[in-house]
A = this chain, B = another copy of it.
């Protein structure tokens, strides 16, 4: 009683590979075709049971599919979706897992035939790990997935994409592409910049005195460089706004330290602690 007969996953890395694994393990899909450009990755994906077959051709791989999910780095998502949409059977549902949505969704809204069923997605399940070897079962359980319908989206298609992620036990939130990009600039893209700059600013002689705080704070700086280069390029305006806001807060700390104003410093640290304690554990 699979929901999907044949699913194509374009890009079998951490996200795509985990998706394939879950769709198969949960018997939500009969066949999962892994599509990619690197033979080595496709072989790992097949060997690990993340997909049931592989293809290096999008037109060949997506033929006869009722669901296509593009899980490449964001710079490639729109192109792959357009290529896939040209070869999918009528009624095939398309979505993606790109970390930014504005440029992708705008390009597809402009270029996809109106009959094509596409709704953008972003599962917030990234990690500093990458590739099909990093794929794990149940990656999306309890995670937030943003879906980004537009005025062009048919309600039935939005519902279908929502149900796809819900069938993997994710929590689905609906936002406009721009709203999504603005918020993740602050909650995901800025943290990556902050962590990367921190790692890069650490002097070599610091190696001996690295402790847990540094390791936690810089962890995501170990993430895939190409992926993140494309994210910053795709979400430039919102990332710069978030960075500007970050610079202002850092400067408040700096001024309080320069002035020896411990009361002000305590206020700033208390505000930060409240924000941290309110949002996570």
CB distance from A156 to the nearest CB of B (A): 25
Within 8 A of B (CB), among A28-69: none
Oligomer: number of copies: 2
Binds B, one of A12-20, A110-118, A158-166, A268-276: A268-276
- A4 beta carbon closer than 8 Å to chain B: no
A197-B250, A265-B229 are known contacts. Are A203 and B217 too (CB-CB below 8 A)?
no
C-alpha gap A197/B268 in the complex (Å)? 8
Using CB atoms, name the residue of chain B closest to A124.
B211
C-alpha gap A278/B214 in the complex (Å)? 13
CB distance from A138 to the nearest CB of B (A): 14
For A184, give its contact among B209, B219, B236 (CB under 8 Å): B209
A229-B262, A273-B225, A280-B218 are known contacts. Are A194 and B183 too (CB-CB below 8 A)?
no
- A201 beta carbon closer than 8 Å to chain B: yes
- A94 beta carbon closer than 8 Å to chain B: no
Q: Is there contact, CB below 8 Å, between B217 and A272? A: no
A126-B211, A253-B197 are known contacts. Are A221 and B273 too (CB-CB below 8 A)?
yes
- A198 beta carbon closer than 8 Å to chain B: yes
CB distance from A4 to the nearest CB of B (A): 26
- A1 beta carbon closer than 8 Å to chain B: no
For A126, give its contact among B186, B213, B269 (CB under 8 Å): B213
Residues of B within 8 A of A260 (CB): 233, 236
- A221-237 interface bits toward B, Cβ cutoff 8 Å, 1 = contact, 0 = none: 11101101100110010
Within 8 A of B (CB), among A183-203: 183-184, 186-188, 190-203
- A137 beta carbon closer than 8 Å to chain B: no
A211-B126, A213-B220, A262-B229 are known contacts. Are A276 and B199 too (CB-CB below 8 A)?
yes
Q: Is there contact, CB below 8 Å, between B211 and A186? A: no
Within 8 A of B (CB), among A123-153: 124-127, 143-144, 146
C-alpha gap A206/B189 in the complex (Å)? 12
